Amino acid sequence: MAELNLAVIYYSSTGTNHQMAQWAEEAGKSVGANVRLRRVPETAPMEAIEQNPAWKEHYEKTQDVEEATTEDLDWADAIIFSAPTRFGVEASQFRAFIDTTGGLWGQGKLVNKVVSAMSSAQNSHGGQEATVLSIYKTMAHWGAIIVPPGYTDPVQFASGGNPYGVSATAGEEGIVEDIEEAVKHQAKRTVETAKWIKDGQGQ
Ligand SMILES: Cc1cc2nc3c(=O)[nH]c(=O)nc-3n(C[C@H](O)[C@H](O)[C@H](O)COP(=O)(O)O)c2cc1C
């Protein structure tokens, strides 16, 4: 069986998407993938970060997580994205990273990447689905292979049942829903689909 590289690329201000990305990392490793967990570079000015204690704390706590680069996308066979919802779309920090991928795209290197996306919002219906679909629009432009979780496992129902990609509600005390298993299912399904495609190449 071919080696399989999974990049888990996330942006998080206050930890929700970082937690989701860590669950995806764990699941990817559990099915034998080589995994890179990568943090999208922060673009906000320090003055803005310092005004929000939760943001500042998370920013400082995750400085040792390697920053995502386009080389991580080139390396990956499969990619899990996780980004917070901001007014119905992904955070601008995440978009800024996506906007650096033009060079890879121009060389056709994003074609057939096997991708899946997750999001969080403050409200349970605060726009998570729209954010995931927004990420998938970009994936269509890449010519990527989008792997949504659908209802392929009972854990989907326990997590809130978003078939596009796991949705988290970021509450005061942390994530409201029980989504850990759904995140892991989504990550494993993405890796397994990528393996299936990679192993089938050239046949
Ligand atoms: C500028 C801004 C816009 C936001 N827009 C929404 C929104 O439209 N709906 C919603 O429910 N939450 C919204 N939120 C809350 C974020 O989605 C929430 O803080 C995020 O999901 C937490 O993820 P993180 O802990 O990984 O940063 C917004 C937050 C900010 C700062």
Nearest to 4 by CA among 140, 202, 197, 143: 197
8-52 pLDDT tens trace: 999 999 999 999 999 999 999 999 999 999 999 999 999 999 999
DSSP letter, residue 29: H
Ligand 1 atom closest to the Cα of residue 12 is 26
- Closest C-alpha to ligand 1, atom 31: 86
Task: With H, G, I as helix, E, B as strand and everything else as coil, classify residue 106.
Answer: helix
Q: Binning pLDDT at 50, 70 and 90, where does residue 202 land?
A: very low
DSSP letter, residue 163: S
Q: Binning pLDDT at 50, 70 and 90, where does residue 203 land?
A: very low
The residue-averaged pLDDT of 98-107 equals: 98
Rounded CA-CA distance 50/73 in Å is 31
Q: Binning pLDDT at 50, 70 and 90, where does residue 200 land?
A: confident
Neighbours of 99 (CB within 10 A): 10
Residue of 13, 23, 57 with the most ligand 1 atoms within 8 Å of its CB, for mutation? 13
Residue of 93, 122, 131, 169 with the most ligand 1 atoms within 8 Å of its CB, for mutation? 122
Phi first, then psi: give them for residue 7, nearest 5 degrees.
-105, 125
Radius of gyration of the chain (CA): 16
Residue 57 CA to ligand 1 centre (angstroms): 17
pLDDT of residue 106 exceeding 90, the answer is: yes
- Closest C-alpha to ligand 1, atom 3: 86
Q: How far is CA 42 from the centre of its chain?
A: 16
Residue 108 CA to ligand 1 centre (angstroms): 33
Nearest to 115 by CA among 15, 197, 23, 31: 197
Phi first, then psi: give them for residue 101, nearest 5 degrees.
-95, 5
Pocket lined around ligand 1, Cβ cut-off 6 Å: 12-17, 84-88, 120-123, 126-127, 170
Terminal-residue alpha carbon distance, the chain: 14
pLDDT of residue 1 exceeding 90, the answer is: no
The predicted complex's ipTM stands at: 0.99
Residue 183 CA to ligand 1 centre (angstroms): 19
Residue 84 CA to ligand 1 centre (angstroms): 6
Write the CA distances from 30 to 24, 110, 152, integer angstroms: 10, 25, 19
The residue-averaged pLDDT of 117-141 equals: 98
Q: Binning pLDDT at 50, 70 and 90, where does residue 201 land?
A: low
Element (H, E) at 89: strand 89-90
Residue 74's pLDDT is 98
Ligand 1 atom closest to the Cα of residue 19 is 26
Residue 110's pLDDT is 98
Residue 24 CA to ligand 1 centre (angstroms): 21
Residue 41 CA to ligand 1 centre (angstroms): 18
Average per-residue pLDDT for the chain: 96
- The model scores a pTM over 0.90: yes
Phi first, then psi: give them for residue 89, nearest 5 degrees.
-135, 175
Neighbours of 145 (CB within 10 A): 17
